[in-house]
Homo-oligomer: A and B are copies of this chain.
Amino acid sequence: MVLPRAISDLINAFERLPGIGPKSASRLAFYLLNTPETYLSDFAGKLVGLKKGTKICRECFSVSENEVCQICADQKRDKGLICVVERAIDVVAIEKVGGYRGVYHVLGGVINPLEHVGPEDLKINELLERIKEAGETEIILAMNPTMEGEATALYLKKQIESKSQITNHKLQIKVTRIGSGLPMGADLEFADQATLARAMEGRRMI
């Protein structure tokens, strides 16, 4: 059955989004067919306005409405605690938990040779610059516990250490990595080997 082009075009557009398969894409397109025209043009306006209404914070490279994001501009935030994440959406995830009182640094990805992403494609120099000017600082490396995330964490640790050695404030910089192991509520029986190994390795005194 050949669908009207207007519908199949929209289905294709939805299908290209992450996590939306052919069935969901059809469902969304047919759902929208029954919504008022104003809803569609409103939605379209939001898509077009997305980039125009969004800036990149010049300090932490997270998303922002202004030159400097709300978190970096917040005087109550501890500037001596920098959480390094892959993407801006990770900032949202950590902020949702609440409790973190430091600031962030968004790398814009991880080192991934297979996808031709090298250190120069990420905001690594910008991070080293931030640290250079800092006093006593803890850098929390919060990249995802994937192969690429781990490799990027190791790379960053080395870079930060050599940089802080040159500028003579090595003792002031502490580099940490977020904990990994079994997620809360998980079942040891069903955990994969890598996670279990990491959980054993990362055991703590209680």
Residues of A that sit less than 8 Å from B by CB: 1-7, 9-10, 13, 17-20, 24, 26-33, 37, 40-55, 63-65, 70-71, 87-89, 91-92, 95-96
Give 22 pairs: A residue, B residue, CB < 8 Å, sorted on A.
A1-B91, A1-B92, A3-B92, A5-B53, A5-B65, A6-B52, A6-B53, A13-B43, A13-B46, A17-B28, A17-B31, A18-B27, A19-B28, A27-B89, A30-B89, A32-B47, A33-B50, A33-B88, A41-B47, A43-B47, A44-B44, A44-B47
Tell me, in angstroms, the Cα distance from A46 to B50 when the chains sit together. Answer: 16
A88/B1 in contact, CB under 8 A: no
Which of B18, B20, B32 lies in contact with A50, CB distance below 8 A?
A: B32
A95 / chain B contacts, CB cutoff of 8 Å = 1
| 8 extra A-B contacts, CB within 8 A, seeds A18-B31, A30-B92, A43-B47 | A1-B70, A1-B91, A4-B55, A9-B49, A19-B27, A30-B89, A40-B47, A44-B44
Tell me, in angstroms, the Cα distance from A20 to B1 when the chains sit together. Answer: 27
Tell me, in angstroms, the Cα distance from A147 to B78 when the chains sit together. Answer: 58
A63/B4 in contact, CB under 8 A: yes
A50 / chain B contacts, CB cutoff of 8 Å = 6-7, 10, 29, 32-33, 40
Which of B45, B52, B65, B89 lies in contact with A44, CB distance below 8 A?
A: B45
Tell me, in angstroms, the Cα distance from A26 to B10 when the chains sit together. Answer: 20
A89/B26 in contact, CB under 8 A: yes
Min distance, Cβ A173 to any Cβ of chain B, angstroms: 26
Tell me, in angstroms, the Cα distance from A48 to B5 when the chains sit together. Answer: 13
